[in-house]
Amino acid sequence: MSRLGLLIFSLFLLAACGPRELESDAAFECSNCERWNMPQEPFRILGNTWFVGTAGLTALLIETDDGLILIDGALPQSAALIDSNIRKLGFDPLNIKAILLSHAHFDHAGGLNALQRLSGSAVYTSPDGAKVLKSGLLQEDDPQFLYGTENTSFPGVDKVTGIATGELVTIGGVDVRAVHTPGHTPGGVSWTWESCALGTCYDVVYADSLTAVSAEGYRFIDGPAANQIIESAGAISELDCDILLSPHPFFFGMQDKLEKRDAGNPFINNVACMIYAETALDWLEQRLVSER
Question: Active-site residues: which are they?
Answer: 103, 105, 107-108, 184, 218, 248
Question: In sequence order, which residues have a C-beta less than 8 Å from that of residue 31 and are 6 or more positions away?
Answer: none
Tell me the DSSP string of 172-228. TTEEEEEEE--SSSTT-EEEEEEEEETTEEEEEEEPPP------TT--TTTSSHHHH
Smallest separation (angstroms) from Zn ion to the CB of 184: 6
**Closest residue to Zn ion using C-beta atoms:** 105
Q: How far apart are CA 51 and CA 243, in angstroms?
A: 13
Q: Is 156 exposed, middle or buried (0-12, 13-18, 19+ CB in 10 A)?
A: middle
How many chain residues touch Zn ion (CB under 5 A)?
Answer: 1
Between 68 and 104, whose beta carbon lies closer to Zn ion? 104
Touching Zn ion, residues 87-126 (CB under 5 A):
105
Q: In the bound complex, what is the minimum distance in angstroms from residue 208's beta carbon to Zn ion? A: 9
Pairing of strands 168-171, 43-46: unpaired
Binding flags for Zn ion, 260-279, as an x/- string (CB under 5 A): --------------------
Regarding 188 and contact with Zn ion (CB under 5 A), the answer is no
Q: How far is the CB of 229 from Zn ion (least distance, A)?
A: 13
105 vs 287, beta carbon nearer Zn ion: 105
Q: Are 210 and 140 in contact (CB under 8 A)?
A: no
CA atoms of 43 and 182, how far apart (whole Å): 29
Q: Which of residues 198-227 bind Zn ion (CB under 5 A)?
A: none
SS3 66: coil
**Binding interface with Zn ion (CB under 5 A):** 105
